[in-house]
């Protein structure tokens, strides 16, 4: 199963390179179902994988001039704080068994995977429908401003990253375009930097209290990085629109499958 897991890690990076997002949502399921980690441990590992892989994409966005550093730092000022609070203060307070429904015990791990599955369904819908909105997003004028919506969106992204180890790019990119009115391509690059800061700082803040399998973690991260590099090169030669839609349907099926597996257990 580990060999399949490493292949899946490469595909996660490949999707990030080809379509600019969505792949990181699969990191926790890969870690749980293919590498046998528990949900809490998987969310921590995912922060490292997602953060490092996104950082690789940041360099390319910077070279192409598709990165708004100021906007990234404004978002990160809020979201990073929420990530650290979530990982260090909130998650340790959550009991392993939340409540029971009859004879069925709703555990912390079950709730994590169910929340992740719902997030996958939302992400899938976003990717499937994105083609219809790209023209509107690309035409937005450029104004960067701080307001309550920015703070609220940044806090929500930080909460998602802290709880589930997912980047939340499918929520972040529309916020950057519609609320902050960045052009679409610059929004993608800017979101990668925000995700990098959230994930890596969140990982660093929480890793000290855990015993990590570094060989496994670095191996998965290396495969994801290879995937995003290969995806970036392939993306210059082939159209990403049909791939994005197909990947969205795949994520949709996987989200439903995770719900089935968790309920069945």
Per-residue pLDDT tens digits for 91-131: 999 999 998 888 888 899 999 999 999 998 988 888 788 65
Q: Is the pLDDT of residue 133 over 50?
A: no
Question: What is the total residue count of the chain?
Answer: 265
CB under 8 Å to 218, separation ≥6 — which residues? Answer: none
Tally of domains in the chain: 1
Q: Is 102 exposed, middle or buried (0-12, 13-18, 19+ CB in 10 A)?
A: exposed
Residue 220 or 16, more confident: 220
List pLDDT tens digits, range 33-51: 999 999 989 999 999 999 9
**Cα–Cα distance measured from residue 175 to residue 154, given in angstroms and rounded to the nearest whole number:** 9
Q: Is the pLDDT of residue 140 over 50?
A: no
| Residue 163: per-residue pLDDT | 92
User: Range of 250's domain?
Assistant: 2-264
The answer to whether 220 touches 8, Cβ cutoff 8 Å, is no
CB under 8 Å to 21, separation ≥6 — which residues? Answer: 127, 167, 169, 170, 173, 188, 191
- Percentage above 70 pLDDT, the chain: 91
CB under 8 Å to 28, separation ≥6 — which residues? Answer: 39, 42, 43, 46, 112, 113, 116, 164, 165, 166
DSSP state of 87: I
Q: Is the pLDDT of residue 135 over 50?
A: no
């Amino acid at each position: 199963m580990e060999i399949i897991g490493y292949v899946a890690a490469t595909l996660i990076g490949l999707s990030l390179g080809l379509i600019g997002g969505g792949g990181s949502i699969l990191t926790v399921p890969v870690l749980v179902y293919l590498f046998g980690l528990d949900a809490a441990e998987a969310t921590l590992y995912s922060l490292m994988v997602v953060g490092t892989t996104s950082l690789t994409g940041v360099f390319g966005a910077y070279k192409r001039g598709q990165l708004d550093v100021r906007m990234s730092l404004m978002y990160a000022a809020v979201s990073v704080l929420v990530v650290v609070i979530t990982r260090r203060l909130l998650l340790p307070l959550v009991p392993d068994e939340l409540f029971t429904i009859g004879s069925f015990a709703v555990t912390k791990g079950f709730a994590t995977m169910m929340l992740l599955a719902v997030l996958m369904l939302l992400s899938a819908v976003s990717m499937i429908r994105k083609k219809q909105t790209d023209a509107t997003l690309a035409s937005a004028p450029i104004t960067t401003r701080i307001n309550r919506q920015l703070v609220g969106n940044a806090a929500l992204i930080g909460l998602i990253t802290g709880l589930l180890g997912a980047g939340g790019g499918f929520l972040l990119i529309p916020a950057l375009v519609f609320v902050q009115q960045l052009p679409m391509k610059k929004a993608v690059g800017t979101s990668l930097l925000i995700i990098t800061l959230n994930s890596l700082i969140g990982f660093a803040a929480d890793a000290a209290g855990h015993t990590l399998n570094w060989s496994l973690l670095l191996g998965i991260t290396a495969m994801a990085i290879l995937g995003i590099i290969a995806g970036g090169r392939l993306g210059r030669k082939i159209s990403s629109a049909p791939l994005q839609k197909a990947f969205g349907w795949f994520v949709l099926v996987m989200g439903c499958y995770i719900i089935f597996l968790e309920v069945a257990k």
